[in-house]
Structure 1
């Protein structure tokens, strides 16, 4: 299986051989941390091998809805209405297509445009539901689609993009994230909050302020999940991320990335190269350091 070199993903740096589309991790984001916790081999495929993945209609719809909600705040408060928000959907879809032409594959066999129309209507419905959960006429975000990056004392670099940051007149900070799916059951809420605690940690290390509230807005089910973190929470997250990063570093150096089969495997694009499905991963493209030894060569070349 071959891939062509492309832009280096966040959290990775290119290897010396430009002919190999591989990268060595240099930072950690919530998404990639979740990938590693879900399945180390999936992390390798996405960050190091940078294997291509097919566009997803659900994920793309989420990107579209996020863009609409971000752009709505460009308008004066009194113009932030349901009709105005829904009117932004077609234009934002056109912009998304312009920046990522490959998304047209999602509707390649939709000659009459019926599937696309239905998909856009679903996006509009999610946007409309947001108005039942928050009142945009009373919100003035300090940041939208806010890129944050902080380096911890250990040297671990954390980065991510926060959907929205609100700051109260008293200075209290609220971090908000939109989700186009349904809210998790209570027993899975902690996993859902991991991303938000990650962002809170980065903001704390950057600004010296612990966010007052973390808020997940689930447009799929019309629910809002909130959590008020304490400094101890963020310190525990920091320790967890350090342990996670050490595991990633060890796997990167040894080339030992183990698959972790779960029910989520059914949605994975990489079954053809996964041992759990009878596949063989590509030759490991980075230099490896055998345990107890020195140096090494890319796996499959020694």
Structure 2
């Protein structure tokens, strides 16, 4: 079941949690590693197989967008915020974290300076601060300690279906109940588009089930732009069915990988796509198919990079 929760109601649902944070590390990426399945890559293939191919197999570079960079900075600020003692997680302190988070993003990503070339980063800082301020209307970060932040989750379903993803936050209540939280800097989807959000939530729930042998009590997407929250309470039988869906999806990807047949699909997201110059639907020609990679699975930090549609 997926439910939209207004901010005024969410404050009444908050549960104090108290669990220490673990350390987390990321491996160095290998550009020709075997693709894995993440919520973003699964969405790509369902939306347009050619888009999936160009991202996951060819790895055609995409220019950074302001939306993606803004979202990355917001995530960095919220991660840093939970690194502070609970009493220091005041809204004003969160606003002070923005410049340092921006500098980290600059150091990790090429080309982001061009996005703020006119007038410097101050306008971006204000956009980030506004979104972080919205977060305080949805949750009070002083009331709980996360169990994990930006945790990489990996599991191979049935031994040969590699699922990879990053979870923004995992909370564990004193009674052992587990909650998964993902931040979105865009607006919440309308009723006609909630299926994609539900797909992502089921994906996370299944990974948690297969790695921890526990069904999360709740999964939560926090939409900062319109201060809304979608919550999902999964059931084990539903997740077992969802695993069969992912198995069929991965088989379709493997079949396409063997033949190189990744057809383009014209849809409403085409207007945002950076691959239009390579798309036959728009008069372009894709590069020669490089073949299905056969090395070790690609690390989660490479297959799950934050894209504008993920924010």
Q: Normalising by structure 2, report the TM-score.
A: 0.83
Q: Which residue is 2:131 aligned to?
A: 126
Structure 1 gap ranges (5+): 1-5, 14-23, 289-302
Kindly provide the CA deviation profile for residues 17-62 of structure 1, in whole angstroms up to 9, marking residues without a partner as x. xxxxxxx42x211111111111100000001111111111001101
Q: Which residue is 1:145 aligned to?
A: 150
Counterpart of 1:234 (choices 234, 239, 244) is 239
Work out the CA distance in 2 between the residues paired with 1:221 and 1:156: 36
Kindly provide the CA deviation profile for residues 178-231 of structure 1, in whole angstroms up to 9, marking residues without a partner as x. 000011112322211211211110110111100000101000100011110001
Q: 1:287 to 1:188 in 2, by over 3 A?
A: closer
RMSD over aligned CA atoms reads 1.6
Structure 2 gap ranges (5+): 1-27, 294-311
Q: How does 1:178-189 map to 2 (within 5 A)?
A: 178-189=183-194
Q: Which residue is 1:294 aligned to?
A: none
Counterpart of 1:102 (choices 107, 111, 124) is 111
Q: Find out whether 1:276 has 2:281 as its counterpart.
A: yes
Alignment length, in residue pairs? 266
Q: How does 1:1-302 map to 2 (within 5 A)?
A: 7-8=29-30, 13=33, 24-25=34-35, 27-108=36-117, 110=118, 112-113=119-120, 116-286=121-291
Q: SS state of the match for residue 106, structure 1? A: helix
Work out the CA distance in 1 between the residues paired with 2:157 and 2:254: 16
Q: SS state of the match for residue 234, structure 1? A: helix
Q: 1:265 to 1:221 in 2, by over 3 A?
A: same
Q: 1:99 to 1:142 in 2, by over 3 A?
A: same
Work out the CA distance in 1 between the residues paired with 2:233 and 2:264: 34
Q: Is the 2:58–2:290 contact (alpha carbons within 8 Å) kept by the matching residues of 1? A: yes
Work out the CA distance in 1 between the residues paired with 2:160 and 2:57: 20
Give the drift of 1:232: 1.6
Give the drift of 1:99: 1.6
Say which structure, 1 or 2, has more relative contact order (CA 8 Å, 6+ apart): 2
Q: Normalising by structure 1, report the TM-score.
A: 0.85
Q: SS state of the match for residue 149, structure 2? A: strand
Give the drift of 1:7: 4.5
Return 93-102 or 247-256, whichever deviates more: 93-102
Runs of 4+ that moved beyond 3 A: none
Q: Which residue is 1:17 aligned to?
A: none
Kindly provide the CA deviation profile for residues 237-290 of structure 1, in whole angstroms up to 9, marking residues without a partner as x. 2111101100100110001001111111011111111000001111111179xx
